[in-house]
A and B are shown apart, each in its own frame.
Chain A
């Protein structure tokens, strides 16, 4: 069935280091891959997204890469800061054709140690 696997479930890095979170999706028809950041008790907010016709996208310290052949995509955060600490969710869309339904990964708790 439709599935998005996300790893690792927790990640601890030192301030200034890089963090990488990886996701794998199951439906080859997926064509949209957003990443959301959720701070404790708050709503998820989009930080970056990528579509299937692009292999990489970058926005300042954040980048996402997509490998359609392997059906996986990754979030890269460079020069991490304490305010990057949060739960990060990947998602994949395009399931079922015209629907915008997103399937979410189980999340990664990122802790940036000062």
Chain B
């Protein structure tokens, strides 16, 4: 399962704390993405990055922040401003450019906030 990794697999935090989820890829992909998945729901885009030092908000960016300082890494911070942070978080990467490309997903991080 190399290629794109996420850590940790499970994460528990108290309400009011910020938490950072790690995502690393060695596929030499320019584009990286963060999705949130809730039970019985699809994948909702939080943030995406087409190139290093640049990123754009997705559909549900409020309460989240990201950075893209290296091509290989795209960490996601869940801030205390996120109202319902408990969810399964998936990171993905793909080549960049026109035409559309397969996105490769990491194994996910299940975050529980109490």
Interface of A with B (CB < 8 Å)?
A: 6, 31-32, 34, 42-46, 49, 51, 89, 93-94, 97-107
B62-107 residues at the A interface, CB under 8 angstroms: 90, 94-103, 105-107
B42 at interface (Cβ–Cβ under 8 A)?
yes
Is the CB–CB distance between A106 and B41 below 8 Å?
yes
How far, in angstroms, from A98 to B108 measured CA to CA in the complex? 27
| Secondary structure dominating the interface of B | loop
Interface of B with A (CB < 8 Å)?
A: 31, 33, 35, 40-45, 48, 50, 58, 90, 94-103, 105-108
Is the CB–CB distance between A32 and B99 below 8 Å?
yes
Is the CB–CB distance between A100 and B43 below 8 Å?
no
Is the CB–CB distance between A32 and B100 below 8 Å?
yes
Is the CB–CB distance between B103 and A102 below 8 Å?
yes
Is the CB–CB distance between A43 and B90 below 8 Å?
yes
How far, in angstroms, from A77 to B40 measured CA to CA in the complex? 22
Is the CB–CB distance between B97 and A45 below 8 Å?
no
How far, in angstroms, from A94 to B96 measured CA to CA in the complex? 12
Is the CB–CB distance between B42 and A107 below 8 Å?
yes
How far, in angstroms, from A42 to B45 measured CA to CA in the complex? 18
* A42 in complex: contacting residue of B98, B99, B107, CB < 8 Å: B107
* A34 in complex: contacting residue of B31, B97, B99, B102, CB < 8 Å: B102
